[in-house]
Amino acid sequence: MRILTGIQPSGKLHLGNYFGAMKPAIELGSKGDAFIFIAQYHALTTVHDAAALRQATLDVALDFLACGLDPERICLFRQGDVPEVHELAWFLSVVTPMGLLERCHSYKDKLARGIPASHGLFAYPVLMAADILAYTSDVVPVGRDQKQHVEVTRDIAAKFNQTFGEEVFRLPEPMISESVAVIPGLDGQKMSKSYNNTLELFAPIKELKAKIMRIATDSTPLEDPKNPDTCRVFALYSLFATDEERAAMRANYLGGNYGYGTAKKALLEIYERTFEPFRRRREELLGNLDYVEQVLRRGGEKARAEAVKTLDRARRAAGIV
């Protein structure tokens, strides 16, 4: 089974990225032939600083490797190392109905957040379809809010196959994890760089502590019982905790005489404990960037070999010699 997922290098990765995308992606190596790409061209719809994009791309690679990605089991690569994807995107674009793109939620959402309209933003789903189809992916892990991207990819692939009379593209299926809920941000909204409510994975401990201690809570008195199910401190703690630790924290909330300040300190402690070995590994990788580059180049070569075969099939079907 071929599995593909990607992540944009559009800023520092945060806790929402880790639990919502990175950790599940790193676990894919045990489920099939996994490909993970760093989506540089997608990031260009919002990032227009070359130095920032280069640094963010390196940071994504460092973060994945530091958090446990095994490059012997998972193909990690840069989107920019597979130029065939862009020619493939053109083949797909000539059969993609305008109405299909106009119905895409992501375009409307980004416009609503004040991102200027552009062709790249509008045609984003076509490039995403090319990324998915280039490597003959069977399944694509996505959040429930991103399921439409895979559905659009299936529609475009089916349209191409029908138009040119050949089964060039395999139709992928979405892989939706029911175990990963929306990760709450510091303000209660979904954790997102767009909302400036994130906890960065490898931020300095002092910075993390300041942010965690500022998490808004209700005004329940110290001595009264508190509802863990409506508290974002408890929700974030639960992401890290074992079943026993989660049950103990819940009992503290319900028992009273347990303050939110104490809960926040427990969150910071379990955060530090979990990421401390990842921090050490990241420091080691920073001292060996040649190895990181080697991983990405080797991954790009493997991914490109697959994309060349897919593009060749599309060219022949369309009559491009």
Name, in order, each residue with C-beta under 8 angstroms of 10's C-beta and a sequence gap of 6 or more.
43, 46, 47, 56, 193
Question: Is 23 an active-site residue?
Answer: no
For 235-249, give the DSSP string.
HHHHHH--HHHHHHH
- H or E stretch including 255? helix 243-255
Characterise 196 by phi-psi region: left (phi > 0), alpha (psi -120 to 50), beta (else): left
Per the CB < 8 A criterion, the answer to whether 298 and 78 are in contact is no
Per the CB < 8 A criterion, the answer to whether 190 and 183 are in contact is yes
Q: Across the strands, what pairs with 7?
A: 38
Tokens found for residue 205: 């401990």
From the list 199, 206, 213, the residue with the least C-alpha distance to 19 is 199
Question: Is 264 an active-site residue?
Answer: no
Per the CB < 8 A criterion, the answer to whether 82 and 303 are in contact is yes
Question: At how many degrees (to 10) do helices 205-213 and 260-286 cross?
Answer: 150
Active-site residue (options: 159, 190, 209, 302):
190
Residue 75 phi/psi, 5-degree rounding, is -85, 105
Tokens found for residue 50: 């070359």
Question: Is 110 an active-site residue?
Answer: yes
Positions annotated as catalytic residues are 110, 190, 193
